[in-house]
């Protein structure tokens, strides 16, 4: 599931300007709602923390969002992975002075996997210096391996094909393409092409449009 959260731009990523001040009300009622549904209803196994900062805290370093909200309040125990370079990008948002500090902040926010080089470069020394605990690393590894087991990567004798045995002809099968089309089709809502009635109001700059 991606991106967590309040992330909807493709320009200016990992810059200090890519930070949004969002109220708790807007976060809980708007930005969190679809992602919470993915976790509570669809039971997703992993999420990706985004590049941006929310209320001046980088998403991959945000303990309040990733731990208090997602893990504690929503009761989710899946794996969190960074977007590409997003752990190193914690520095750009001012939440760490070095890549090592960014790696420490991400571990503390339970970001279990990186698409980056921060963990590769610094986790061993951070653990040796006592800045990251063995328990934190083992918890992260446990969440990662849980997902691997759920994918069947360690169970080649399963009656279902393991993750590594799936090929494009299965993933991109005609049945799967039909299902991928069917879902969006069910969300389409067609409104009548007529002036708004007292019970039906259109607002905004195009409220008088007939199209």
Q: HEC profile for 157-177?
A: CCCCCCHHHCCHHHHCCHHHH
Band (pLDDT 50/70/90 cuts) for residue 48 is very high
What is the rounded average pLDDT for all residues in the chain? 86
Mean pLDDT of 131-150: 94
Mean pLDDT of 94-117: 97
Any long-range contacts for 125-128 (C-beta under 8 Å, 24+ apart)? 125/100, 126/100
Cα distances (Å, whole numbers) of residue 118 to 25, 40, 104, 164? 33, 31, 9, 27
104's tokens: 């420490």
For residue 53, pLDDT over 50 is answered with yes
Contact, 126 vs 100, CB < 8 A? yes
pLDDT at residue 11, rounded to an integer: 59
Mean pLDDT of 185-207: 65
| Pure H helices in the chain | 24-26, 32-40, 63, 99-108, 118-128, 134-150, 168-171, 174-187
Q: How far apart, in whole angstroms, are the C-alpha atoms of residue 55 and residue 43?
A: 28
For residue 70, pLDDT over 60 is answered with yes
The set of catalytic residues is 83
Measured CA angle at 11 (ends 64, 103), to 5 deg? 40
* Residue 101, preceding peptide bond in cis (omega within 30° of 0): no
pLDDT at residue 14, rounded to an integer: 58
Mean pLDDT of 12-36: 82
Band (pLDDT 50/70/90 cuts) for residue 136 is very high
- Of 189 and 194, more confident: 189
pLDDT at residue 151, rounded to an integer: 79
Q: How far apart, in whole angstroms, are the C-alpha atoms of residue 135 and residue 193?
A: 60
123's tokens: 């986790």
Q: How far apart, in whole angstroms, are the C-alpha atoms of residue 66 and residue 47?
A: 10
């Amino acid at each position: 599931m991606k991106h967590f959260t309040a992330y909807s731009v493709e320009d200016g990523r990992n810059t200090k300007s890519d930070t949004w001040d969002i109220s708790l009300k807007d976060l809980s009622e708007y930005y969190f709602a679809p992602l919470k549904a993915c976790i509570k209803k669809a039971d997703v196994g992993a999420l990706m923390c985004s590049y941006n900062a929310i209320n001046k805290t980088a998403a991959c370093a945000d303990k309040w969002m990733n731990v208090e909200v997602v893990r504690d309040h929503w009761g989710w125990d899946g794996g969190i992975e960074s977007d590409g370079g997003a752990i190193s990008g914690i520095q750009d948002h001012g939440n760490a002075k070095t890549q090592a500090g960014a790696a420490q902040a991400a571990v503390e926010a339970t970001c279990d996997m990186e698409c980056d080089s921060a963990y590769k470069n610094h986790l061993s020394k951070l653990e040796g210096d006592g800045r990251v605990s063995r328990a934190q690393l083992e918890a992260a590894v446990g969440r990662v391996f849980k997902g691997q087991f759920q994918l069947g990567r360690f169970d080649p004798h399963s009656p279902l094909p393991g993750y590594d045995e799936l090929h494009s002809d299965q993933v991109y099968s005609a049945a799967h393409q039909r299902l991928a089309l069917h879902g969006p089709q069910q969300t389409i809502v067609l409104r009548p092409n007529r002036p708004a009635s007292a019970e039906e109001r259109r607002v905004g700059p195009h409220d008088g449009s007939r199209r």
